[in-house]
Amino acid sequence: MSNKTNISAITLLFSLLIMAGGVVAQESATIQATANVSTSLAINGTQNLRFGVVTPGVNKAVNKTTAGESGEWSITGTPGAEISITFTLPDSLQHTTNPTWMNLAFSATDVSYSDGTGSQVGPTGVLNPNAGNAERIGAGGIMTIWIGGTVFPSVAQGGGPYSSDVMLTIAYTGS
The verdict on residue 149 lying in a domain is yes
Q: Residue 128 — pLDDT band, cuts 50, 70, 90?
A: very high
The verdict on residue 33 lying in a domain is no
The verdict on residue 141 lying in a domain is yes
Which domain covers residue 76, as residue numbers?
42-172
Q: Write the DSSP symbol of residue 73.
A: E
The verdict on residue 31 lying in a domain is no
In this prediction, residue 34 carries a pLDDT of 79
The verdict on residue 3 lying in a domain is no
Residues with Cβ within 8 Å of 55's Cβ and at least 6 positions away in sequence, in order, are 153
Q: Summarize pLDDT for 25-42 with one digit per residue, the tens.
A: 788 898 888 787 767 899
The verdict on residue 86 lying in a domain is yes
- The pTM of this model reads 0.79
Instruction: Report, in angstroms and rounded to the nearest whole number, the Rg of the chain calculated over CA atoms.
Output: 33
In this prediction, residue 19 carries a pLDDT of 55
Q: Residue 6 — pLDDT band, cuts 50, 70, 90?
A: low
Q: Summarize pLDDT for 145-156 with one digit per residue, the tens.
A: 999 999 999 999
The CATH number given to whatever domain includes residue 65 is 2.60.40
Number of domains in the chain: 1
- What is the mean predicted confidence (pLDDT) over 90-110? 96
